[in-house]
Structure 1
Amino acid sequence: MHIELLKGHGSGNDFLLIDEISNNYTFSEEERANLARLLCNRETSLGADGILFVMESDHAEGRMRVFNTDGSEASMCGNGLRLVARYICELQGRTDAVIETMKADLKVSKRNEIYPDIHTYQVEISPVLFDLKALPLNLDKTDLLNEKIDELSDELRFSALAVPNPHLIALVEKEQLECGLQKQLSEKLNGPNDLCPDGVNVSFVKPLQEGVIYVRTFERGVGFTNACGTAMSASTLVTCLQGINEYESVVNVCNNGGKVQCVVHRNNGEYYIDLIGNATYLYQAAVEVDLQQKSFTMNSQIHLAEQPSYEKLQDDVQRFLAETI
Structure 2
Amino acid sequence: MQIEVLKCHGSGNDFFIIDEMTDKYSFTDEVRAQLAISLCNRNTELGADGILFVLNSESADARMRVFNADGSEASMCGNGLRCVARYVCEKFGKNQAVIETMKVNLSVEKEDDLFPNIPTYKVEISPVSFQLRDLPLQLPQETLINEIIPALSKDLNFTALAVPNPHIVTIVDSKQLDSDIQTSLSEYVNGPNPLFPDGVNVSFVQPLSKGHIFVRTYERGVGFTNACGTAMSASSLVTCLVGLNGKEEFIEVYNPGGKVRCNVHENDGIYKIDLIGNGTYVYKAVVQIEESNLTQFTVDQTHVFTDEAEHYAKLKAHAKDFILQHQ
Q: TM-score, normalised by structure 1?
A: 0.99
What per-residue deviation string (whole Å, max 9, x for no partner) do you get for residues 24-70 of structure 1?
21101100000000000001111000000001001100000000000
Shift of 1:149: 0.5
Amino acid at match of 1:290: E
* Correspondence list, 1:243-322, <5 A: 243-293=243-293, 294-304=295-305, 305-322=307-324
Partners of 1:321 and 1:251 lie apart in 2 by 14
Q: Point out where structure 2 has 5 or more consecutive residues left out of the alignment.
A: none
Q: Quote how far apart the aligned CAs of 1:300 are.
A: 1.8
Match of 2:198 in 1: 198
Identical columns (%): 58
Residue number in structure 1 paired with 2:51: 51
**Using the alignment, how far apart are the partners of 2:60 and 2:41 within structure 1?**
32
Distance 1:51 1:295 in 2: 17
Q: SS in structure 2 opposite 1:284?
A: strand
Mapped partners of 1:307, 1:166: distance in 2: 31
Shift of 1:291: 4.7
Q: Identify the range of structure 1 (294-303 vs 102-111) with the bigger mean alpha-carbon deviation.
A: 294-303
Instruction: Give the ranges of 4+ consecutive aligned residues of structure 1 lying more than 3 Å apart after TM superposition.
Output: none
Question: What whole-Å deviation, never above 9, does each CA across 1:164-203 have from its counterpart, x for those lacking one?
Answer: 0000000000000001000000000000111001000000
- 1:295 Cα deviation (Å)? 1.1
Deviation for aligned residue 1:115: 0.2
One-letter identity of the residue aligned with 1:186? S
**Counterpart secondary structure, 1:94:** coil
User: Do the aligned residues in 2 keep the contact of 1:82 with 1:278 (CA within 8 Å)?
Assistant: yes
Please give the residue correspondences for 1:220-239 in structure 2 after superposition, counting only pairs within 5 Å: 220-239=220-239
Once the two structures are superposed, the pairs formed by residues 8-19 of structure 1 within 5 Å of their partners are 8-19=8-19
CA RMSD of aligned residues (A): 0.6
In the alignment, the residues of structure 1 paired with residue 114 and residue 224 of structure 2 have an alpha-carbon distance, to the nearest angstrom, of 24
Structure 1 residues without counterparts, runs of 5 or longer: none
How far apart are the structure 1 equivalents of 2:72 and 2:223? 13
Q: Secondary structure at the match of 1:187?
A: helix
Q: Which residue identity lines up with residue 316 of structure 2 in the other structure?
A: Q
Instruction: Give the distance between the partners of 2:290 and 2:174, measured in 1 at CA.
Output: 46
Q: Which amino acid is 2:274 matched to? A: D
What is the aligned residue count? Answer: 325
Distance 2:65 2:212 in 1: 31
2:119 is matched with 119
Provide the rounded CA distance (Å) in 1 between the counterparts of 2:37 and 2:102.
20
Contact 1:35 1:291 survives alignment (8 Å) = no
Partners of 2:195 and 2:291 in 1: how far apart? 35
Q: Residues 75-86 of structure 1 correspond to what in structure 2 (within 5 A)?
A: 75-86=75-86
Matches within 5 A, 1:21-32: 21-32=21-32
Partner SS, residue 46 of structure 2: coil
What SS does the corresponding residue of 2:148 show, helix, strand or coil? coil
Q: Distance in 1 between matches of 2:42 and 2:73?
A: 19
Is the 1:34–1:291 contact (alpha carbons within 8 Å) kept by the matching residues of 2? no
Structure 1 counterpart of 2:314, one-letter code? K
CA distance in 2 between counterparts of 1:291 and 1:174 reads 49
- Separation in structure 1 between the aligned mates of residue 204 and residue 68 of structure 2, nearest angstrom: 21
Q: Distance in 1 between matches of 2:291 and 2:88?
A: 28
Q: Which residue of 2 aligns with 1:154?
A: 154
SS at match of 1:301: strand
Q: Which residue of 2 aligns with 1:134?
A: 134
> More displaced, 74-83 or 21-30?
21-30
SS of match in other structure, 1:319 = helix
What is residue 66 of structure 2 aligned with on the other side? 66
Q: Secondary structure in 2 aligned to 1:260?
A: strand
